[in-house]
Structure 1
Amino acid sequence: MPPRSRRTRVRARIAGLLARLGVRTPSCLFALLLACASCEASPQPAPHPQPAVSLEYAVKATYLYKLAPFVNWPPATFESPQQPFRICVAGDASFDAYLQQAVAGRSLGTHPFEVHRLETLTPDSQCQIVFISRLASQTVQEALEAVDGKPVLTVVDSTEPHADGGIVKFVIDRGRVRFVIDTGAAARNHITISSKLLNLALAVREAS
């Protein structure tokens, strides 16, 4: 049997990566992932290969909204059954387009997803999930302190390698987007993480 073409191998790799979190990717987004991945080859392979930025952001955007069903927020989080579920992007404007495409027409139960970009994260930002990356107006620690104790799932990007304190942190592990979960930080923000999601994490930091 002849070897599979590179395009076929790339398609299989992307499908396997997204399947780790049960992601069912829209055909348009899958086409984007495939197109980006097909362009990421380099004549000289790096010792620690990194995904192309566009592919990396598309995968992170898909992961981000797929985290929501695995998290329990306090009962009073939503004032009405139709209140939007707010996913905020604090800092990196270039991430918005990927996230907007990933959540288009989707909802968590009766709560439609809404994407909001913030220059600065404040205690009254009213986010259910906040993605923190490349902040210009405050440090990652200042952003995390702004929502400390509030029912917000904080997700720190892999572009912040030395930042600690978020509930979820994206990391690049052998060229793949993975995540680490801090259950102690989740408890401080009065939210709980499903064991199913914990089992998919690269590492779990237990509550002390």
Structure 2
Amino acid sequence: MTRRGSGWIGGALLALATLAATPTRAETGALEQAVKATYLYKLAPFVAWPPGAFNATDDPLVICVQGADAFAGLVDRAAAGQRVGPHPVLVRRLARLERTSGCHVAYVAGSQAQSTAQALAAVSGSPVLTVTDAERGPARGIVHLVLNSGKVRFSVNIGQAEAGGLAVSSKLLALALEVSR
């Protein structure tokens, strides 16, 4: 084999290795969704709920997923066996989010039964950390997930949090892309 031939083969192998190492859009999308699912319970240690939000010190931290059944499966896997302080994490799927749903954290995606805006209005002013996703529309919860330079980031509305009696840690606020009232 000549040098010219071996250079071509080496270049082709390098190109194939680069393609193999570059995630496809589907892989990137799946990774993005898995990161978002993990955020739901990773945010909780940075939030203080008002007295009475938990009946007992070892009550579960309930994460509700409204209107996104496929995403709920990712949240189930991410939260399996996890604890937030003394609270085991429990995931519930909901078609409709209500003030009486018993959620501490709610991922609000909207559904045919209830739009994102309707779901947010249903729990407005209650101690529920609402999480929305820019990918699903403009309505914003207390935490709003966005994709920024290929990374999942978030903004925080402390006015909404305070209206529900939630206190958001300054450590979490320091990581936010945007903090608003």
Q: TM-score, normalised by structure 2?
A: 0.84
Structure 1 CA distance for aligned equivalents of residues 111 and 134 of structure 2: 13
The Cα shift of 1:54 comes to 1.0
Count, aligned residues: 166
Structure 2 CA distance for aligned equivalents of residues 128 and 168 of structure 1: 13
Corresponding residue number in structure 1 for 2:24: 39
Which of 150, 163, 166 is equivalent to 1:191? 166
Matched ranges for 1:144-155 at <5 A: 144-155=120-131
Which secondary structure does the structure 2 equivalent of 1:123 belong to?
Answer: coil
Which secondary structure does the structure 2 equivalent of 1:76 belong to?
Answer: coil
Contact 1:134 1:159 in 2 (8 A): no
1:173 matched to 2:158: no
Moved over 4 A (4+): none
Corresponding residue number in structure 2 for 1:200: 175
Structure 1 CA distance for aligned equivalents of residues 143 and 58 of structure 2: 26
1:90 matched to 2:90: no
Contact 1:169 1:179 in 2 (8 A): yes
Closer, same or farther in 2 for the Cα pair 1:6/1:70, shift >3 Å?
A: farther
The amino acid of 1:57's aligned partner reads: Q
1:53 matched to 2:29: yes
Structure 1 CA distance for aligned equivalents of residues 110 and 62 of structure 2: 20
Unaligned runs of 5+ in 1: 11-36, 42-50
Matched ranges for 1:124-139 at <5 A: 124-139=100-115
Structure 2 CA distance for aligned equivalents of residues 130 and 185 of structure 1: 14
Q: Root-mean-square deviation (CA), in Å?
A: 2.1
The Cα shift of 1:161 comes to 3.0
Structure 2 CA distance for aligned equivalents of residues 134 and 52 of structure 1: 23
Identity of paired residues, percent? 43
Structure 2 CA distance for aligned equivalents of residues 136 and 180 of structure 1: 26
Which secondary structure does the structure 1 equivalent of 2:179 belong to?
Answer: strand
1:77 matched to 2:53: yes
Q: TM-score, normalised by structure 1?
A: 0.74
Which secondary structure does the structure 1 equivalent of 2:74 belong to?
Answer: helix
Larger Rg: 2
Which secondary structure does the structure 2 equivalent of 1:162 belong to?
Answer: coil
Structure 2 CA distance for aligned equivalents of residues 70 and 6 of structure 1: 39
Contact 2:110 2:119 in 1 (8 A): no
The Cα shift of 1:52 comes to 2.8
Unaligned runs of 5+ in 2: 1-13
Structure 2 CA distance for aligned equivalents of residues 100 and 141 of structure 1: 24
The Cα shift of 1:110 comes to 1.6
